[in-house]
């Protein structure tokens, strides 16, 4: 805003602009132009009150008319553009500001069916993705540990995301078919993978196992 | 801060002449509403451009949620309008702005006609303006189908049937617009592509030509 007023003040009809195009020159010219403008104003005024105005100092600290107009027009423009653009920006960032739904638990299997040996169970979650509602099927490897505590591991390999399986090579380990990553029954990474298998949150209710959101492994620290 | 950044760039690239040529626009007294209030009729062109800018912006934002597909189009519009914050406002801007562009453009055309501004040496600008007019109508026609509701479906059906009634080329025109034999999946993607890529591209080129010619020739004289 300020700059535009500087440059526009340069008396282009005098050809100064072409002689020295750098902005510092234009800035210097602006001082002259402003001086000239004020002198012109005073000459006009002096037609009415010759003696009083003749001795008034040339430089005043008041806001110039140009500056006032720049601020007013700039402010109005900013207000109008803001009014148009802000709703759109809010519209675009809406996914960031939507409250995350609390993890819901899904009934998967009877507690009595869980053994020490990990078994794979499939379950469906209800997923609302904008206007697309679906029930994708997930899988979990559920087993009891030595204390009889039930835990569920995610079948997604922590190396590059393939689907692991229990004991496919007869070593009582989780094996990944892609790059031979191996995990213990607790999901501890033995080879290739950088991290232990993720775990589902588990809730036991009325003799059923409910699974919730996926969380980092809690059994291998 | 802003000034020193500007000066730094200006010393290297001498950008002042560039924007100065754009900003230094001569506005004669007879088109300045501050001098003659009736000169507000000269604002319609600028207002058309202002609303066009809003159309382009709001359209860009709408495509963040919209899907041009017969299964999802209606659902995505319903979602963006009712579930997304300010969705009603942004879609409303695009919806009502579309009508407003046509109105403003029509008023601008009337002003140019009745002030005789289309006469020599500005005939080419009149022709370019007419091309813009038809591009805008095309944008309105293709955009109308995109929500994929009943109104959109039947409006497009009628519109394409009108195109079909053109002698000789009519049937070809209709197949081109349908992308097949019916208003369906292919029509929707086709209209989306025309609405979002082809016509806006043409529009921006034509607007550039329109404005460059105004600069070159200046604003027409008083009546």
Kindly state whether residues A111 and A94 are assigned to the same domain: no
Q: In what order do the strands lie in the sheet with A174-175?
A: A165-166, A174-175, A182-183, A189-191
CB contact under 8 Å between A130 and B78, yes or no, is no
Helical (H) or strand (E) element with B55:
helix B44-62
* A153: in domain: yes
Helical ranges in A47-64 per DSSP H: 50-54
Q: Give yes or no for B10 touching A (CB within 8 A).
A: yes
- The answer to the question of residue A145 being in a domain is yes
For tokens 């197949």, name the residue. Answer: B175
What's the mean pLDDT when you consider all of chain B? 95
Domain boundaries B31-216, corresponding CATH code: 1.20.810.10
Same domain, A148 and A197: yes
Contact B16 A131 (CB under 8 A): no
Pair A163, A210 in one domain? yes
CB contact under 8 A, B58 and A88: yes
Range of the domain at A50: 5-55
Do the chains contact at A91 and B86, CB–CB below 8 Å? yes
B92 part of contact set with chain A, CB < 8 Å: no
Q: What residue spans define the domains of chain B?
A: 31-216
pLDDT of residue A102: 74
Report if residue A221 sits inside a domain.
no
- Once rounded to an integer, what is the mean pLDDT over residues A172-197? 92
pLDDT confidence bin for A27, thresholds 50/70/90? very low
Of A8, A23, A94, the CB nearest to B85: A94
Cis (ω within 30 of 0) for the bond into B121? yes
Q: Tell me, yes or no, whether A79 lies in a domain.
A: yes
To the nearest whole Å, the CA of A87 is away from the closest chain B CA by: 6
pLDDT of residue A60: 65
- ipTM greater than 0.90, yes or no? no
Please count the structural domains in chain A.
Answer: 3
The pLDDT value given to residue B149? 95
> Is residue A167's pLDDT more than 80?
yes
How much is the pTM?
0.77
């Amino acid at each position: 805003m300020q700059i535009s007023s500087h440059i526009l003040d340069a008396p282009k009809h005098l050809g100064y602009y072409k002689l020295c195009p750098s902005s510092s020159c234009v800035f210097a010219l602006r001082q002259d132009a402003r001086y000239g403008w004020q002198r012109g104003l005073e000459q006009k005024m002096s037609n009415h009150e010759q003696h009083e105005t003749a001795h008034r100092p040339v430089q005043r600290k008041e806001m110039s008319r140009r500056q006032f107009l720049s601020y007013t027009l700039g402010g109005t423009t900013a207000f109008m553009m803001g009014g148009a653009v802000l709703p759109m920006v809010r519209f675009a960032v809406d996914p960031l500001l939507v409250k995350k739904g609390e993890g819901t638990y899904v009934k998967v299997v009877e507690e009595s069916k869980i053994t020490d040996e990990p078994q794979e169970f499939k379950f469906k979650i209800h997923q609302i993705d904008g206007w697309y509602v679906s029930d994708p099927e997930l899988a979990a490897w559920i087993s009891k540990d030595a204390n009889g505590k039930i835990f569920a591991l995610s079948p997604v390999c922590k190396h590059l995301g393939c689907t692991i399986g229990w004991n496919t090579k007869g070593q009582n380990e989780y094996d990944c078919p892609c790059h031979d990553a191996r995990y213990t029954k607790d999901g501890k990474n033995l080879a290739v993978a950088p991290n232990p298998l993720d775990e589902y949150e588990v809730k036991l209710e009325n003799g059923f196992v409910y699974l919730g959101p996926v969380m980092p492994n809690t059994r291998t620290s | 801060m802003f000034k020193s950044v500007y000066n730094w760039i200006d010393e290297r690239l001498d950008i002042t002449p560039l924007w100065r040529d754009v900003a230094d626009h001569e506005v004669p007294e007879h088109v300045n509403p501050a001098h003659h209030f009736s000169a507000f009729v000269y604002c319609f062109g600028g207002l058309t451009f202002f609303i066009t800018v809003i159309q382009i912006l709001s359209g860009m934002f709408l495509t963040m949620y919209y899907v041009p597909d017969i299964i999802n189009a209606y659902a995505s519009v319903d979602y963006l309008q009712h579930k997304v914050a300010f969705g009603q406002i942004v879609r409303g801007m695009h919806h009502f702005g579309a009508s407003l562009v046509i109105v403003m453009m029509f008023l601008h055309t009337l002003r140019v006609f009745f002030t005789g501004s289309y006469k020599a040496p500005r005939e080419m600008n009149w022709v370019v303006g007419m091309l813009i007019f038809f591009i805008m109508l095309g944008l309105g026609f293709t955009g109308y189908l995109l929500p994929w509701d009943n109104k959109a479906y039947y409006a497009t059906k009628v519109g394409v049937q009108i195109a079909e009634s053109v002698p000789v080329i009519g049937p070809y025109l209709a197949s081109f617009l349908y992308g097949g034999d019916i208003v369906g999946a292919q029509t929707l993607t086709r209209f989306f592509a025309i609405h979002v890529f082809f016509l806006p591209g043409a529009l921006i080129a034509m607007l550039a030509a329109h404005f460059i010619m105004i600069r070159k020739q200046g604003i027409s004289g008083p009546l």
